[in-house]
Amino acid sequence: MTTPSPSHVNRKGQKRRIRLFLFFVLCLFVWIGYTLYLQGGMLSEKEAELETLKKEAAEVQQQQAELAYKASRLYDQEYIAELARKEWFFTKPGESIYVIPE
């Protein structure tokens, strides 16, 4: 019977270790790729959500500006008198109101 030489046994063990190492490296790359794929989907969802929130924020800022303008006009006596005449049909002395149906 012949016994295998030590270098031949060493090569088999070395090849096995290399294959095992490459298998782990492959598993690592698959795991990283899967993780990046999932995070890419979540990222696109968050970007879409961010865009809708930006649009909502712009609308709210516009409404806030309009309300600030309306609030600043409430300090004007002429504007308040105009609102009272228009909404509650108040009149000045000697004035008549005619309601036109719409």
Q: What is the pLDDT of residues 39-95, one digit of tens each?
A: 998 999 999 999 999 999 999 999 999 999 999 999 999 999 888 888 887 888 888
Burial class of residue 56, CB neighbours in 10 A (0-12, 13-18, 19+): exposed
Assess whether pLDDT exceeds 70 at residue 35.
yes
The predicted pLDDT at position 59 comes to 97
pLDDT beyond 80 at 13? yes
pLDDT band at 96 (very low <50, low <70, confident <90, very high): confident
Q: Which two tokens stand for residue 96?
A: 């008549």
Is this prediction's pTM over 0.75?
no
Q: What pLDDT sits at residue 64?
A: 97
pLDDT at 16: 92
